[in-house]
Amino acid sequence: MSAAANQPTRRPTVLGARGIGAGLVVALAAVAILGGLVIPGDPLAQSLTKALLGPEVTAPLGYDHLGRSVFHRLVHALRLSPLIALAAVAAAGAAGLLLGTLAAARGGWIDRALVILSDALLALPGLLLVLIVLAMVPGTAMGFWAGLSLVLWVEFFRLTRAATRELLASPAVEASRLLGFGPVYIFRTHVWPEIAPMMLTAAAFGTATAIMAIAALGFVHTGMRAPTPELGLMMVELLPYWREAPLALLSPVIAIFALLLGLTLLAGSRET
């Protein structure tokens, strides 16, 4: 009776968390896509006479220490970091899904070699691996994409390998093989429908992790190079002026907090 009584109260909580997460992500995406159209402006344009001034119609969040519109820099930063993160997650997810399925299906030396490779990469701190790649192509979106993809594919690989191994041994898959169906049909019909929710959850967490990594490296001056609008770089640039322009500093802080919270709520609600 207690289990039945608890069941109706759980689903509204999950839907509420998912709704809040989706609302935050959609709101920030709308700012990133429509913000520059509603209030046109150049994120790189400087006017030292407006340095650290408060909000006005053409700059709703005020100006930074170089007289650049914080709003327009935030709009472009909300495009850059999520796009890099989504591209990295897409590449890592595709690689992890392909290699994880291959390892589970083939086994033998292929499985052992891929497991050793993933364990070797997992032994390295993620940010260190990204920094190594950025040392080769410093301060570029391509460097972030490559480094984050190398970090994130391991998680997708491990999840896919563990789940697919059990699915491929199931009676339904064996029956499909006996009927002459190929690996593409088996994956599309039996494997993907089962692992899709888990992969989408991992993708949401991976996107949040990638955005946080980009901001963290920008905050310590090892990420995107100035004057590129990027959330971590904006925070470190505005930190010395927090007394004179607190709104300018809080804008990227609140934006990245809301974005990470939204993605985490979406991933957590899927997992529940």
pLDDT digits (tens, 9 = 90+) for 93-105: 999 999 999 998 8
Question: What domain range is 116 assigned to?
Answer: 2-271
CB atoms within 10 A of CB 120: 10
What percentage of the chain carries pLDDT values higher than 70? 93
**What span, in angstroms and rounded, lies between the C-alpha atoms of 62 and 239?**
15
Tell me what the pLDDT averaged over the chain comes to: 87
Count the domains in the chain.
Answer: 1
Residues pairing with 63 in the sheet: 69
Give CA separation, 263 vs 191, 202, 232, 258, in Å: 25, 11, 18, 9
Question: Which residues neighbour 164 within 8 Å (Cβ) at sequence distance 6 or greater?
Answer: 100, 101, 104, 105, 191, 195
Question: How many residues are present in the chain?
Answer: 272
Contact at 8 Å (CB) between 230 and 212? Answer: no
What confidence tens digit (pLDDT) does each residue in 199-235 have?
A: 999 999 999 999 998 888 888 777 788 888 999 889 9
CATH number of residue 210's parent domain: 1.10.3720.10
Q: What pLDDT shows up at residue 1?
A: 43
pLDDT at 14 exceeding the cut of 80: no
Question: Which residues neighbour 184 within 8 Å (Cβ) at sequence distance 6 or greater?
Answer: none
Angle at 256 between CA 272 and CA 224, to 5 degrees: 125
What confidence tens digit (pLDDT) does each residue in 158-177 have?
A: 999 988 988 888 888 888 88
pLDDT tier for residue 9 given thresholds of 50, 70 and 90:
very low
Mean pLDDT in residue range 56-84: 93
pLDDT tier for residue 90 given thresholds of 50, 70 and 90:
very high
